[in-house]
Amino acid sequence: MGTGHEGGGRIRRLEVAAASDATRLDTWLAEQLPELSRSRAAQLIAAGNVRVGGQAVKKSHRPEPGEIVEIEIPPVVAATAEAEELPLSIVWEDDDIVVVNKPAGLVVHPAPGHPRGTLVNALLHSVSGLSGIGGVAQPGIVHRLDRDTSGLLLVAKHDEAHRRLSAALKRREIRRRYLAACWGHLRQDEVTVDAPIGRSPSNRKRMAVVAGGRAARTRFVRLERWVAADLLRVELESGRTHQIRVHLASIGHAVVADSVYGERAERGMSGRFEPWAREFARRVPRQFLHAAELEFEHPMTRRRLSFEAELPRDLEAAAEWAREHARG
Q: Specify the DSSP class assigned to residue 124.
A: H
> What are residue 225's DSSP bridge partners?
230
Please report the DSSP string for 34-86 in residue order: TTS-HHHHHHHHHTT-EEETTEE--TT----TT-EEEEEEPPP-GGGS-----
Residue 193 CB-half CA count within 13 A? 24
Q: Are strands 150-156 and 289-297 parallel, antiparallel or unpaired?
A: parallel
Contact indicator for 42, 59 with CB cutoff of 8 Å: yes
**Is 148 one of the annotated active-site residues of the chain?**
no
- Helices 38-46 and 25-32: angle between axes, nearest 10 degrees: 120
CB 172 within 8 A of CB 230: no
Q: Which of these is catalytic: 26, 96, 146, 148?
A: 146
Q: Contact 96/298 with Cβ under 8 angstroms?
A: yes
CA distance 220 to 247: 10
Cβ atoms within 10 A of the Cβ of 218, count? Answer: 22
Active site residues: 146
